[in-house]
Structure 1
Amino acid sequence: MNFSIDHKNPLPLHVQAENLLRTIIRDPQYANGKFLPNEVQLAKQLAISRSTLRQALNKLVYEGLLIRKKGVGTKVAEPTISSKSKNWLSFTQEMNARGIMIKNFELHVTWVTPDETVANFFDISTSKKILKLERLRGKAEGPFVYFISYFHPRVGLSGEEDFKRPLYDILEKDYMVIATLSKEEISAKSADKFLAGKLEVETGSPILCRKRFVYDQGERPIEFNLGYYRADSFVYTVESRRD
């Protein structure tokens, strides 16, 4: 692969270097754990300073696309599933945006009475039945996330919907309910026997738990969602900008 950047291009050199690196890591020659060219040699070939190149490298290291080992070099990270807090989307939309085909291994719809935590979030009685949606999802080679969603009765879901469609697409197009705000809590826990069986890991293995509180345009609660992810297949990235 020929590495070069256009020094006449008004785009900053570190941005051009970052774009080049993104192209490099997609090349089969460097994919899945292969080391990138030597930093000194690459900077020389691109006719940029090492600090400019390192600025671009640091961005991709932060995103989890590259792994840097002192005294060894920089290599392409093994592929993982990534979810970012910025530009919040439904899970299906997130994965589609990354070109990842998602498979539903299990899909269950039931009507249940909520526990106090869910009832308090929806501000309803614990005797009021609500829709519960459970989905075990992942890539073709196996599941990596188990979702449990509860919906406020106000939303109007019947349980007969085609939940293979993106969830928030169903809410918006079929019920005029627009999911606008998501508040989340992220924690780590050990997989109990039930979750270990679902995610195909050993009991006691670390998993990521994401609790999501979803609101409509009027900031009324519409969904209480729990997501349990295999720790070896999922990275949650938070991007913040200081104004």
Structure 2
Amino acid sequence: MNSNPILNADLTTDGNIPLYFQLVGIIKRYVSAGILAPGDMLPSESELCRGLGISRSTVRQAIGALEDEGLVIRKQGRGTFVAEPKMRRRNENVYSFTSEVSAMGLTPSSTLIEFDVIQPSPDIMKMFSLHSDDIPVYRFTRIRRVDGEPVMLETSFYPQYIYPNLTRELLETHSFYSLLYEVGIVPASAVDTYEAVKLSADEAALLGCKSGSAGFFHQRQTKTENGEVFEFTQTLIRGDKTRLEVVLHKNGVSFSRMLNK
């Protein structure tokens, strides 16, 4: 099993990409490249822990995410295997920018430009089903980069009670989703809307493109498994760096967003 290519992968603790996101991205890339073929067995939990120097909880989180997407299948008493293509399902549940970009084999990074704790407006109260404006809400704005190039200008809102001790410094050194996972908050569903827009001079300057450039205005409302809204984001996305794809098939509709270098 020591010859398994996964055990030769390099994980980094220097950036803000959670270790389990890195492991998920590595396995996805190996599957896409044919380095791991359908039916190949993944190393065991203990082998991954020893070989990569990571915790058992990190391994389980990564394997669980891959299993949720149908990329691997666990067989009781035998191990975890790369799923056959017909068993895989399109990933329609990518909510994190970090995991989305890492899964494409690209490098995500962010610059935090605003961090505030606010009293929610009536619209934000309605979004989170808050009954009083005395319940504080985090609001922070980040420039999202792909391989160092600015692609998105994202403003996020979260009720403060879901993670009471968030600080600017913590947000600059960690993926917020990784912090939420630690306290048991896991995204289960999301509603996205997209609108075509032209970027203003200030918006374009932050995104490194010309004033009036085409873009998308994206809004997302994300819920936990019990239906609680814990996230609302408003994002401006460069149109020249993004492609949206909608596929119609007999079982429904699937949607994907591709970010280009």
| Cα distance change, pair 85–190 in 1 and its aligned pair in 2 (3 A) | farther
Displacement of 1:141: 4.5
Which residue of 86, 102, 106 corresponds with 2:108? 102
Question: 1:214–1:195: structure 2 CA closer, same or farther, 3 Å change rule?
Answer: same
Cα offsets for 1:211-230 (capped at 9, x unmatched): 00011111111001111111
Asked which structure has the greater CA Rg, the reply is 1
Q: One-letter code of the match for 2:155?
A: I
| Alignment-mate amino acid for residue 225 of structure 1 | T
Q: 1:157 offset after TM fit, Å?
A: 3.7
User: 1:176 deviation in Å?
Assistant: 1.3
Task: Verify the 8 A CA contact 1:135 1:146 in the aligned structure 2.
Answer: yes
AA aligned opposite 2:244: Y
Match of 1:130 in 2: 137
C-alpha RMSD over aligned residues: 2.3
% identity of equivalent residues: 17
Which runs of at least 4 in structure 1 moved beyond 6 Å after TM superposition?
none
Q: Unpaired segments of 5 or more residues in structure 2? A: 1-31, 34-89, 252-261
Match status 1:168 vs 2:177: yes
Alpha-carbon contact 1:190-1:205 (below 8 Å) kept: yes
Q: Aligned pair 1:142/2:152, yes or no? A: no
2:200 aligned residue: 192
One-letter amino acid matched to 2:159? H
Question: Residues 151 and 186 (structure 1 numbering): CA distance in 2 closer, same or farther, change over 3 Å?
Answer: same
The CA deviation at 1:117 is 1.9
Out of 225, 228, 243, the position equivalent to 1:235 is 243
Match of 1:63 in 2: none
Give the match's secondary structure for 1:232.
helix
1:60-102 CA-partner distances (Å, limit 9, x unpaired): xxxxxxxxxxxxxxxxxxxxxxxx9723231100111111012
Find the residue that maps to 1:219 and give its secondary structure: coil
For structure 1, the residue ranges without an aligned partner over 5 or more in a row are 1-21, 24-83
Count, aligned residues: 161
Structure 1 position 189, deviation (Å): 1.0
Distance in 2 between residues matched to 1:218 and 1:162, nearest whole Å: 26
Deviation of 1:163 after TM superposition, in Å, equals 4.6
